Amino acid sequence: MFDTGSTGFMLVATSLVMLMTPGLAFFYGGLVGRKNVLSIMMQSFVSLGWTTIIWFAVGYSLCFSGGEGGVIGNLDMAFLNGITIDSVFGEGTGAIPTYIFVAYQMMFAIITPALITGAFTNRVRFPAYMLYLTIWLFFVYFPLVHMVWGGGLLAEFGVLDFAGGIVVHASAGMAALASVFYVGKRNVKERGPHSIPLVALGTGLLWFGWYGFNAGSELQVDNITATAFINTDIAASFAAITWLVIEWRQAKKPKFVGLLTGAVAGLATITPAAGFVSPGSAAIIGIVSGVVCYYAVSLKNKLNWDDALDVWGVHGVGGTIGTIMLGIFASTAINANGTDGLLYGGAGFFLTQTISVLVVSIYAFLFTYFMLWLINKITPVRVTKEMEETGLDDSFHGEIAYEPEN
């Protein structure tokens, strides 16, 4: 009934994507100051628990039920109703237990809102964040999953997104930018990353987990799985070295954090295209990612936007240009289930990708800004100046990561 090879692979891929959320916690935790390490890490880890509960109760059903062409699903599969230990997802060599598909997609739902937290680090109260996490899933993430991967409206328009350029990165990046504008700047500016080794550990876990994120999105073991796997590494590597070289020229020193940030930018940018383009195209995508995301972060700095951990510049811009470049480089010679991009005569597909990612980005930005305004009516979003000066670890959570410096 089940293909054992694909089933085993998808169990590993699901575990890899789960590992990305702790990896993100280490990545963000190393970038913030010593007084806010636990606060930013907790915002990632709490999603592991709370998003799982929501996904089990209604999230999976809202994403993957309800027919074709819609914006959101229904509650027919709430609490996994109708799914049994014998339920099959896929056919033939791609047949896996439906429970694995449920779990795999749940890991995407867990990490997507956690990505946003790097933008407003040190400034948002935990109760407000819990409301943010919940509402954003229902009104941004779940509809996007249904529209793109659940047979909904954008899928009918011909939009492709192999592993989450639109659904994950563009939406999270634009939500991060809206959060920065609403919450405002930090009163206490930190001196920079308190632990670059933690950032490196987080990057390593993210890069490792991304193989499950991208290659696993084929949902079976075949030649596209292998293509997505190698494209992931190629794009990340080219982006990392591109970022390193640009920053080296600008700052006159090779920066480790720049190398690590470039790798994450490349990973985010190849995500929508991983299973639809050639390795050569993945290298080009990586180079473009390194250049464009680097200068997006530089622009953010010049405009004095307080996106603390560059979520917009890395994930928002990366996801957007990756989706657009998919519209350029996609080839049915690589994936017969895909579409030919602009280079192969697919001008219509290029326009579809470009318009779709822009519309989604605008919606994610506007809704997130409105959502924060609404949350602030229920409970204050912004921490007090005193709490910010003390650090959220101690003042809000009553815990500290390190003993006070002498």
pLDDT tens, position by position, 46-80 = 999 999 999 999 999 999 998 788 999 999 999 99
- What residues form DSSP beta bridges with 89? 96
Is the distance from CB of 93 to CB of 7 less than 8 angstroms?
Answer: no
CB atoms within 10 A of CB 138: 14
Q: Residue 406's pLDDT band (boundaries 50, 70, 90)?
A: low
Within-domain flag for 384: yes
Helix count and strand count (H, E) for the chain: 17, 2
Q: Mean pLDDT throughout 191-215?
A: 96
Of the pLDDT bands very low, low, confident and very high (cuts 50, 70, 90), residue 174 is very high
Distance CA 401, CA 399 (A): 7
Q: Is residue 404 part of a domain?
A: no
Q: Which residues of 303-330 are buried (b: 16+ CB within 10 A; e: fewer)?
A: eebbbbbbbbbbbbbbbbbbbbbbbbbb
Range of the domain at 381: 4-395
Report the pLDDT averaged over residues 252-264: 97
- For residue 207, give every residue at least 6 positions away whose Cβ sits within 8 Å of its Cβ, in sequence order, or none: 236, 263, 264, 267
pLDDT at 222 over 70: yes
**Under 8 Å between Cβ of 104 and 10:** yes
The average pLDDT across 179-183 equals 98
Token pair for 103: 């779990």
Backbone angles phi, psi at 306, to 5 degrees: -90, 60
Contact 174, 316 (CB under 8 A): yes
Q: Which two tokens stand for residue 171?
A: 């939406």
CATH of the domain at 74: 1.10.3430.10
- Count up the domains in the chain and report the number: 1
Specify the pLDDT at position 30: 97
Instruction: Flag whether 122 is in a domain.
Output: yes
DSSP at 86: T
pTM: 0.97
The mean of the pLDDT values for the chain is 96
Does the residue 403 lie in any domain?
A: no
In this structure, how many other beta carbons lie within 10 angstroms of the beta carbon of residue 287?
Answer: 16
Query: Is 406 domain-assigned?
Result: no
Q: Return d(Cα 318, Cα 269) in angstroms, integer.
A: 4
Q: What percent of the chain has pLDDT over 90?
A: 96
Range list of β-strands (E), 60-147:
88-89, 96-97
Amino acid at 178: A
The pLDDT of residue 99 is above 90: yes
**pLDDT at residue 239 in the model:** 98
Residue 405 predicted with pLDDT over 70: no
> Considering the domain boundaries, does residue 370 fall inside one?
yes
